[in-house]
């Protein structure tokens, strides 16, 4: 990175980059600002950017009128639940494939990836039918199961690429020092595996949180998470943008913050290790 | 290295994942195939009809519009995100003040759930009367565009492209930053200008990342659903109906499970064609 650059050039690029970044970010910023306006101010022409009377009224209304905390709770239960379940199932598999690979390991990995490419509509009819038969429609359990299954290939892959980077030589060193297999796993491997597991956890919660197709199709009232809750705002044509904005902000804020922390892992996770 | 014992243990550790995915793949998919050969709606018991559902699916007068919409949606979003992502990655790779903050702003749209981004764009930005774009148009002396009435598919493309631009940018930026600085300097010393540098050094270096971005996005873009669901509901007419949305309507509103299953199988075949290419690229990486 030791490129000699003139300050003027750096300033020019800085200005350009900031303008572009603000344009890209603008819809989120605009919804953020609108969430603090009254409904009247929200549709005012010319639009008010910063100088209006800021109010928390919309947040209060959304919290009072709709059961926001239940939707939030549903989102947390399904996103975290499916991620944890996925990790429990995937960690041993990724561990085995990374540390004692066989000739077939690669085929298994590729096959797992191929299941991720099955389009949801390809199994829409049987899944809704099976859910109805088993009483899983509109339940946390049902949604957790589907979210776990659609994201399992990504979890296994991400963990596999992290585990593979743990140097195996270090095990031999530990063994020479007289460590038992149990000690090896607890004191040597686990500490080295934890960052990878944490990254996988973070990225997967984001993916599960934002999953919209199955949450819309498989829930009606009880287990509805946030994407489906927000979708309900699309039906009436009324102009209640301030409330929509407030609800939107409450739906995306937690995950936006998590996303900002996990941006590095995003590349690896979503390209299945093909770009690092 | 691997003894019989460790091999057994490995198999045991992999079993839950493999079995879960095997069930997830085989049970519903074979059911879909089975249903696709049945005359089966909510109002009658299933009855074998051979390929009738497929014939019926393709006899739909709108089917080619739907295929075309699906293709235009994928192609349009790909074009915008690949070109835009490359330009943005090149820009973010420059030395700038506040680089970290700029990056955060640029990748933010990726973390916004589809229903939120679609509704924010549809109402607050693209609304023909009160939207911000309408106001800008009026200030500049143009008549405002009624986005979802005049150019519905293009509007959906813009929203989806906005969501995927950060993904393309981030991956292309990662690829760009792995470019060997010496190679760049050597080309500069040989008298290559910025344009030549881009086409002969940078673009070839990024070609793999571009391919990966294109393939992964295509997989996801072939099943765009929520954005259409909350903005246009497939309309006006079938102007924004893509393949997933058509199948969704056939299953959930026409209650024609056989027909929807046939459509589902067509979608699976389409996605598989793309998947074969992606698996080849990822598989190559695994050997290296």
The per-residue pLDDT for A1 is 44
Residues of chain A positioned with their CB less than 8 A from the CB of B164: none
Q: Provide the percentage of residues in chain B whose pLDDT is more than 90.
A: 26
CATH number of A67-270: 1.10.3720.10
Of B17, B209, B252, the CB nearest to A152: B17
- Test A20 with B1 for CB contact under 8 angstroms: no
The per-residue pLDDT for A5 is 63
Q: Which residue of B has its CA nearest to A34?
A: B124
* Domain regions of chain B by residue span: 54-284
CA of A58, closest CA in chain B: separation in Å? 16
Which carries the bigger pLDDT value, residue B235 or residue B20? B20
Among A45-54, B79-88, B261-270, name the most confident range: B79-88
Question: For B10-19, what is the mean pLDDT?
Answer: 88
Report how far residue A1's alpha carbon sits from residue A23's, in angstroms, rounded to the nearest whole number. Answer: 27
Residues of chain A positioned with their CB less than 8 A from the CB of B264: 119, 121-125
Of B14, B212, B285, the CB nearest to A97: B14
The per-residue pLDDT for B51 is 83
- Full 3-state SS string of chain A: CCCCCCHHHHHHHHHHHHHHHHHHHHHHHHHHHHCCCCHHHHCCCCCCCCCCCCCCHHHHHHHHHCCHHHHHHHHHHHHHHHHHHHHHHHHHHHHHHHHCCCCCHHHHHHHHHHHHCCCHHHHHHHHHHHHHHHCCCCCHHHHHHHHHHHHHHHHHHHHHHHHCCCCCHHHHHHHHCCCCHHHHHHHHHHHHHHHHHHHHHHHHHHHHHHCCHHHHHHCCCCCCCHHHHHHHHHCCCCCCHHHHHHHHHHHHHHHHHHHHHCHHHHHHHHCCCCCC
pLDDT at B286 over 70: no
The per-residue pLDDT for B59 is 85
Residues of chain A positioned with their CB less than 8 A from the CB of B272: 117
The per-residue pLDDT for B279 is 77
Question: For B100-119, what is the mean pLDDT?
Answer: 90
Question: For B206-226, what is the mean pLDDT?
Answer: 86
Report how far residue A39's alpha carbon sits from residue A57's, in angstroms, rounded to the nearest whole number. Answer: 10
The per-residue pLDDT for A239 is 58
- Test A260 with B111 for CB contact under 8 angstroms: yes
CA of B174, closest CA in chain A: separation in Å? 7
CA of B283, closest CA in chain A: separation in Å? 7
* Domain regions of chain A by residue span: 7-60, 67-270
- Test A96 with B10 for CB contact under 8 angstroms: yes
pLDDT at B1 over 60: no
Tell me which of 3.30.70.260, 3.90.1150.10, 3.40.50.1370, 1.10.3720.10 is the CATH number of domain B54-284: 1.10.3720.10
Of B103, B167, B248, the CB nearest to A121: B248
Question: For B161-181, what is the mean pLDDT?
Answer: 89
Low-confidence ranges of chain A (pLDDT < 50): 1-2
Q: Which residue of A has its CA nearest to B119?
A: A234
Question: For B282-286, what is the mean pLDDT?
Answer: 70
Residues of chain A positioned with their CB less than 8 A from the CB of B197: none
Of A1, A16, A125, the CB nearest to B91: A16
The per-residue pLDDT for B82 is 95
Q: Which residue of A has its CA nearest to B168?
A: A267
| Nearest of A105, A36, A171, A89 to residue B21 by alpha carbon | A89
CA of A25, closest CA in chain B: separation in Å? 5
The per-residue pLDDT for A3 is 52
**A242-267 pLDDT, tens digit each:** 888 998 999 999 888 888 887 777 77
Contact present, B32 and A126 (Cβ < 8 Å): yes
Question: For B236-260, what is the mean pLDDT?
Answer: 88
Of A43, A124, A230, the CB nearest to B113: A230
CA of A32, closest CA in chain B: separation in Å? 10
**B30-58 pLDDT, tens digit each:** 998 988 888 888 788 888 888 888 888 88
């Amino acid at each position: 990175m030791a490129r000699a650059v003139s300050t003027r050039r750096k300033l020019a690029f800085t200005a350009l980059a900031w303008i572009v970044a603000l344009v890209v970010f603008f819809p989120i910023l605009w919804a953020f600002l609108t969430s603090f306006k009254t409904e009247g101010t929200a549709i005012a022409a010319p639009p008010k950017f910063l100088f209006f009377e800021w109010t928390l009224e919309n947040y209060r209304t959304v919290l009072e009128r709709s059961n926001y905390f239940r939707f939030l709770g549903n989102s947390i239960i399904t996103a975290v639940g499916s991620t944890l379940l996925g990790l429990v199932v995937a960690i041993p598999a990724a561990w085995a494939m990374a540390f004692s690979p066989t000739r077939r390991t690669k085929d298994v990995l590729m096959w797992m990836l191929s299941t991720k490419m099955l389009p949801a509509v390809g199994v829409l009819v049987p899944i809704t039918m099976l859910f109805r038969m088993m009483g899983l429609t509109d339940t946390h359990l049902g949604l957790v199961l589907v979210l776990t299954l659609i994201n399992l290939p990504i979890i296994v892959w991400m963990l596999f690429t992290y585990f593979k980077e743990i140097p195996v030589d270090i095990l031999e060193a530990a063994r020479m020092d007289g460590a038992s297999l149990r000690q090896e796993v607890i004191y040597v491997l686990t500490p080295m595996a934890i960052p990878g597991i944490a990254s996988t956890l973070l990225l997967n919660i984001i993916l599960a949180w934002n999953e919209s197709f199955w949450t819309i199709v498989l829930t009606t009232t009880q287990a509805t998470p946030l994407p489906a809750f927000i979708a309900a705002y699309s039906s009436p044509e009324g102009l209640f943008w301030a409330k929509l904005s407030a609800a939107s902000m409450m739906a995306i804020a937690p995950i936006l913050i998590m996303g900002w922390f996990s941006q590095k892992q995003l590349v690896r996770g979503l390209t299945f290790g093909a770009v690092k | 290295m691997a003894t019989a014992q460790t091999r057994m243990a490995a198999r045991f550790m992999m079993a839950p994942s493999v079995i879960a995915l095997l069930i997830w793949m085989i049970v519903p998919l074979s059911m879909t195939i089975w249903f696709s050969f049945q005359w089966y709606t909510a109002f009658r018991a299933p009855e074998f009809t051979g390929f009738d559902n497929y014939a019926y699916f393709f006899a739909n007068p709108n089917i080619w519009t739907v295929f075309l919409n699906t293709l235009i949606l994928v192609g349009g979003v790909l074009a915008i995100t690949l070109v835009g992502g490359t330009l943005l990655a090149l820009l973010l790779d420059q030395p700038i003040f506040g680089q970290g903050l700029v990056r955060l702003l640029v990748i933010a749209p990726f973390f916004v759930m589809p229903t939120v981004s679609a509704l924010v764009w549809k109402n607050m930005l693209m609304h023909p009367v009160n939207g911000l774009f309408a106001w800008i148009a009026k200030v500049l002396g143009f008549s405002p565009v009624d986005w979802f009435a005049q150019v519905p598919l293009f509007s959906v493309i813009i929203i989806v492209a906005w969501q995927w631009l950060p993904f393309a940018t981030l991956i292309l930026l990662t690829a760009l930053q792995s470019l060997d600085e010496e190679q760049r300097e050597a080309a500069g010393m040989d008298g290559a200008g910025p344009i030549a540098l881009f086409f002969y050094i940078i673009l070839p270096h990024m070609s793999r990342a571009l391919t990966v971005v294109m393939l992964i996005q295509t997989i996801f873009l072939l099943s765009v659903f929520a954005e259409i669901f909350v903005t246009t509901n497939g309309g006006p007419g079938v102007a924004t109906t893509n393949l997933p949305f058509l199948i969704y309507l056939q299953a959930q509103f026409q209650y024609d499970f056989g027909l929807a299953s046939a459509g589902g199988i067509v979608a699976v075949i389409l996605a598989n064609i793309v998947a074969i290419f992606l698996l080849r690229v990822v598989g190559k990486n695994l050997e290296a």
